[in-house]
Chains A and B, each alone.
Chain A
Amino acid sequence: QSVLTQPPSASDTPGQTVTISCSGSSSNIGTNYVYWYQQLPGTAPKLLIYRNNQRPSGVPDRFSGSKSGTSASLAISGLRSEDEADYYCAAWDDSLSVWVFGGGTKLTVL
């Protein structure tokens, strides 16, 4: 049972925009930055969004992050087949002094 809550799956057709939610609490998302990771099949996770809405160099601007209160979202616009992956949110939890992850969302591009 993950501390952060994500929908287990999401899907849409190429070119569309999909949004993945991540819900936490005041001790993690409500207080700290949210990070998003993309995990392509059979590979290690890759940092996609840091500090709620910042993109590392090389991440397309089709990926965007936002945060409001104790929830965060990852939006992927102009969906492409290569976006099919598992997406995880993460945040530091001040009460537990641990990193917490969401359960992951499997994105399917139909």
Chain B
Amino acid sequence: QVTLKESGPALVKPTQTLTLTCTFSGFSLSTSGMRVSWIRQPPGKALEWLARIDWDDDKFYSTSLKTRLTISKDTSKNQVVLTMTNMDPVDTATYYCARDLVDGFDYWGQGTLVTVSS
């Protein structure tokens, strides 16, 4: 059974760096074809894709946020980590991680709300 769960701070200050961890089970990121993406959703707004990491360590980033994002994986721990630098109040959102296959984002975490405020 596939599960994903996001963890990280609920509150960060402007200009700080956000570090989020996605801990998953039921699949391995060392298996060919496996990928994990991060997606966020500001309150009352649409979904926005942020980044993806593949089983072979290929990485892809949102065009508008690529200078601020870093995605990495720890296959032994079944974790994917996303860091976002220079946080701003407009980055307040629920952050989701999801398993990302050719068949879509088939499993999602419950999401974690991150508020950016001084």
**B105 and A35 within 8 A (CB):** yes
**A45 and B103 within 8 A (CB):** no
**Closest Cβ neighbor of A2 among chain B residues:** B46
Known: A46-B108, A47-B103; 16 extra A-B contacts, CB below 8 A, are A33-B102, A37-B104, A44-B111, A47-B104, A47-B106, A50-B106, A56-B103, A90-B49, A90-B104, A98-B61, A98-B62, A99-B52, A99-B100, A101-B46, A101-B47, A103-B46
- A-side interface mostly: strand
Number of chain B residues whose Cβ lies closer than 8 Å to a Cβ of chain A = 22
The B82-118 residues at the A interface (CB cut-off 8 A) are 96, 100, 102-106, 108-111
**B49 and A44 within 8 A (CB):** no
**B60 and A97 within 8 A (CB):** yes
> Which residues of B line the A interface, CB within 8 A?
37, 39, 46-49, 52, 60-63, 96, 100, 102-106, 108-111
> Which residues of A line the B interface, CB within 8 A?
2, 33, 35, 37, 39, 44-47, 50-51, 54, 56, 88, 90, 96-104
